Structure 1
Amino acid sequence: MINRPLDLDAVQAFIHIAELGSFTHAADAMRTTQAAVSLKLKRLEERLGCRLVERTPRYVQLSAQGAAFLEHARELLEVHDRALTVFAGARQRLTIGISDHVAGPELPALIARMNAQDPQLLIEIRIGSSGDLLQSFDRRELDTVIVRLHAGRSDGEILTEEKFGWFAAPSWQHRADEPLPLATLAEPCGVRVMAGQLLDAAGISWTEIFVGGGVTAVAAAVTAGLGVAALAARMLPFGAVDVGPKLGLPDLPRLPVLLHSRVKDGRPRDALSALSAAFRSAVRG
């Protein structure tokens, strides 16, 4: 019989571990250390009298008791949040800009993760180019932006880095006597500029065959066999191949994803920390 109340921070730590599959990512989401998260979980397990998480050198997995407790843990925090909402007044708003080269297929899951962190927070997300979003951020139209490294900017917190490649449809063939056909994003796009500069420096003739208003449109052009695009692998539909080595194209660098934010504390910062941790987990796999 449990005769003392559960520590809600420890319950939250357990949920983060379960959903993110990592003590490190859970620590990121809670803005604390891995050791602190481990201690919270240990105390929760001691309070419940069972092991909730099985740890191995390669992965984190819920035990049978942990899997059974997870839904109850979520319900407990939801009831807690609803109780606080009665006294919270108007919803707080968090306005986030995410670069089109960063927002990938994981975006719905990331939004769901933020909502789970704070269902009463009003979240507004805008998708655009890194340059445009940074300008909006500097004008204080956005609270936070998650963007690619932008020329002339050295600020921001690095969330992760991603390797880019020259992707094409499996059936696409390049005619050696023709310029390399590129599918790109419309200006301004830092990746578009970088790709063109690298090709020029390597003495490779190229031409834009398709200009899309978003990465989804560029990926569709690649899938349709129009040409090659410089993109991160997670942005492409399954089956696209990196033709860079085969065609002797210049190596594309690992490009950082940076977080710029004026949000320092409170509920919006907690939600933003959950988003950052989930994003790192999604990109690194």
Structure 2
Amino acid sequence: MIERSLDVDAVRAFVHVADTGSFTRCAEIMGTSQSAISLKIQRLETRLGHRLLERTPRSVRLSAPGAIFLERARDLVAAHDRVLGAFGASRQRLAIGISDHVAGPELPTLISRMNARDTGVLIEIRIGSTGELLQAFDRRELNAAIVRFHDDRDDGKVVAEEKFGWFAASDWRHRHGEPIPVATMPEPCGVRSLASRRLDDAGIDWTEIFIGGGVAAVSAAVTAKLGVAALAPRMLPFGVVDVGPALGLPDLPRLPIVLHSRVRDGRSAAILGELSAAFRSAARD
């Protein structure tokens, strides 16, 4: 009798490739190399006797058998994880800090996806400033932190770099001769520190008009026409535009998103890999 059992990790890899359309992103999620993922998929295809993915130098797409297998593959991975969760000694706990300047509008969808894919891991999310979260990480209150680059740190892994600009409500107008009113987050905030330093270095006369407890509050202040704020485009509310060039404000650099983690392998590492890949994709968009 020919052995027909499937490697669950290979099936999981297939699902990730199907969802992301990329062997590279799948490798990032699973914390391995692209060649290792390719080998897993090849062995899975050999086991099933069908080509599951059509590969070209520029794209990866499902074959007809792959499209049929995908939902069954999802069911198999989900059942596998449910069994592990039910018979494990306890659910793993993964405490992740995510900077408010990183979290963005995608976060609720990402949390839902993470929970659905691995119910054996209890995910705890803490939102805060980069400085606060790094302090909590150093106190070992967090297993990982996904934050903006911090001047005082040279550890962590850069996940992506994201464009920032100066934004204001489309119908807001600066009063000539008055300081530029700026809405910011409270200290310690790396974006606040960078933005204020760039304004000072450029000799721009500015004043702090509003301090918000998070990006949502700062965005609300901008929408309310209080002034301008340094924000990433994906964080913008409707009706907000880039006013930096018109006001002669200094360019802001692309700011890194950095992963600090003590998680090295296992299911928690896979979740962190998927989160990192999602933020990398959002930053590119």
Instruction: State the TM-score, normalizing by the size of structure 1.
Output: 0.92
* Cα displacement string for residues 153-205 of structure 1 (whole angstroms, at most 9, x for unaligned residues): 11111111111111112222222222111111122212112111111111111
CA distance in 1, matches of 2:59, 2:173: 40
Structure 2 SS opposite 1:178: coil
1:183 and 2:186 equivalent? no
Find the counterpart in structure 2 of residue 37 from structure 1.
37
CA distance in 2, matches of 1:102, 1:218: 14
Find the counterpart in structure 2 of residue 20 from structure 1.
20
* Cα displacement string for residues 180-235 of structure 1 (whole angstroms, at most 9, x for unaligned residues): 11111122212112111111111111112221111011112222322211011111
Distance 1:242 1:57, change over 3 A: farther
What is the Cα deviation at residue 67 of structure 1?
3.0
Residue 131 of structure 2 contacts residue 188 of structure 2 at CA under 8 Å; is this kept in 1? yes
Residue 25 of structure 1 contacts residue 281 of structure 1 at CA under 8 Å; is this kept in 2? no
* Cα displacement string for residues 113-157 of structure 1 (whole angstroms, at most 9, x for unaligned residues): 322442111111100111111111111111111111112111111
1:89 and 2:94 equivalent? no
How many residue pairs align between the two structures? 284
CA distance in 1, matches of 2:241, 2:124: 34
CA distance in 2, matches of 1:29, 1:118: 14
CA distance in 1, matches of 2:214, 2:188: 12
Structure 2 SS opposite 1:102: helix
1:210 and 2:207 equivalent? no
Find the counterpart in structure 2 of residue 120 from structure 1.
120
CA distance in 2, matches of 1:56, 1:174: 51
Instruction: State the TM-score, normalizing by the size of structure 2.
Output: 0.92
What are the residue-to-residue correspondences of 1:1-285 with 2, within 5 Å? 4-285=4-285
Gaps of 5+ in 2: none
Gaps of 5+ in 1: none
Identity %: 68
2:72 is matched by which residue type in structure 1?
A: H
Distance 1:35 1:22, change over 3 A: same
Residue 167 of structure 1 contacts residue 243 of structure 1 at CA under 8 Å; is this kept in 2? yes
What is the Cα deviation at residue 267 of structure 1?
2.6
CA distance in 2, matches of 1:59, 1:225: 44
CA distance in 1, matches of 2:98, 2:32: 25
What is the Cα deviation at residue 59 of structure 1?
3.7
2:40 is matched by which residue type in structure 1?
A: K
What is the Cα deviation at residue 238 of structure 1?
4.2
